[in-house]
Amino acid sequence: MNLPILSFVWNPSEGIEIGSFMIRYYSLMFVVAFAIGWYVMKYIFIRENEPMEKLDSLFIYTVIATLLGARLGHVIFYQSELFRDDPLSILLPIRTQPNFEFTGFSGLASHGAAIAIIIFMIYFSKKIMKQSLLWVLDRVVIPVASGAVFVRLGNFFNSEIIGNETKSSFGIQFVQDYYSKRDAVEITKIAEPRKAYQALTSSPEYAQFLEKVPAKHPSQLYEAVMYVLVFAILMFLYWKTDVRKKEGFLFGVFMVLLWSVRFGVEFVKESQGGFEKYTLFNGLSTGQWLSIPFIIIGLYYIFRKTKPIT
């Protein structure tokens, strides 16, 4: 049975305007993610009797690793042609081809962020934390799971990483996914895309334009909801059980749960490109292929035999 009350049209503004300045929702979600992550780690550090100055270093390392790894991961896994066609756009918030354009920082891959965080934590654990890598990862993955929730909410506000078309009750009409900025400008004759979208929404012909927009799965929200559960499970295991004493266990649970969610949601998500275009890999999406090694690593750390930390 279809319940249309669960479906709606999504055509949000880009952010919160304060005079001539705008706080973009996508950027705001990253700030919220890092802020909550710091807050969660603060209480973990208190429980572990670790000095707060180490937490500040951890915060800086995590921010750099997340942004740098996510961007490089996207380019390597999904848009490798940028190395040849537009190398400046890889780490700068611009596009130089076919025309110069300020794009902001976009195109981020969670798999790249995960790899970079692990690499950065190798150095951090030895030089700053003076703990084993797995001890650090067992605790870092808890705020990382909470951060994943807000990253996907940011994707939702940006109308990106959309799901496949659907006639189910959960289908959402993403106006900004169907009508590009150029489309909105051409239809409304308003040069500024943000105002063009607003004018499109309020135009008498809006219903006519809206009929063309297909309903699609809000895959970002599916992931966000499931990541809340992943975060809750990790918090419970850390605070209410003794499994934190088994090095690598919480890290393994994180890897299995989070990347299994990603693997499953990919079935209803539009293709993001990448190496799935090659015949050898087109049975699964790029995101699914990248998730499989992470899940296997997680299973290893869950089931490996090790002496608990006393």
- Comparing 51-60, 175-184, 256-265, 283-292, the range with the smallest average pLDDT is 175-184
Provide DSSP, 45-114.
Answer: HHHTT--HHHHHHHHHHHHHHHHHHHHHHHHHHH-TTHHHH-THHHHSSEE-SSS-EE--S----HHHHH
* Per-residue pLDDT tens digits for 229-286: 999 999 999 999 999 999 999 999 999 999 999 999 999 999 888 888 777 788 899 9
Residue 3 has what pLDDT? Answer: 44
Most confident among 77-81, 98-102, 138-142 (mean pLDDT): 138-142
* Per-residue pLDDT tens digits for 210-219: 888 899 999 9
Residue 39 has what pLDDT? Answer: 96
* Per-residue pLDDT tens digits for 120-168: 999 999 999 999 999 999 999 999 999 999 999 999 999 999 999 998 8
**Do residues 223 and 163 touch, judged by C-beta distance below 8 A?**
no
Residue 5 has what pLDDT? Answer: 45
CA distance 148 to 274: 21
Residue 117's closest CA among 41, 63, 57, 71? 63
Helix (H, G, I), strand (E, B) or coil at 213: coil
**Do residues 230 and 254 touch, judged by C-beta distance below 8 A?**
yes
Q: Please, which pLDDT band fits residue 307 given cuts at 50, 70 and 90?
A: low
Q: Looking at per-residue confidence, does 96 or 179 come out higher?
A: 179
Average pLDDT over residues 182-207: 82
Residue 105 has what pLDDT? Answer: 65
Res. 6: pLDDT tops 60:
no
Mean pLDDT computed over every residue of the chain? 88
If one counts every other C-beta atom within 10 angstroms of the C-beta of residue 139, the result is 25
* Per-residue pLDDT tens digits for 101-117: 766 667 788 999 999 99
Percent helix / strand / coil, the chain, rounded to 5? 65, 5, 25
Instruction: Find where tokens 């590009």 sit.
Output: 180
Residue 33 has what pLDDT? Answer: 95
**Do residues 175 and 11 touch, judged by C-beta distance below 8 A?**
yes
Please give the model's pTM, rounded to 2 decimal places: 0.89
Residue 183 has what pLDDT? Answer: 87
Q: Please, which pLDDT band fits residue 310 given cuts at 50, 70 and 90?
A: low
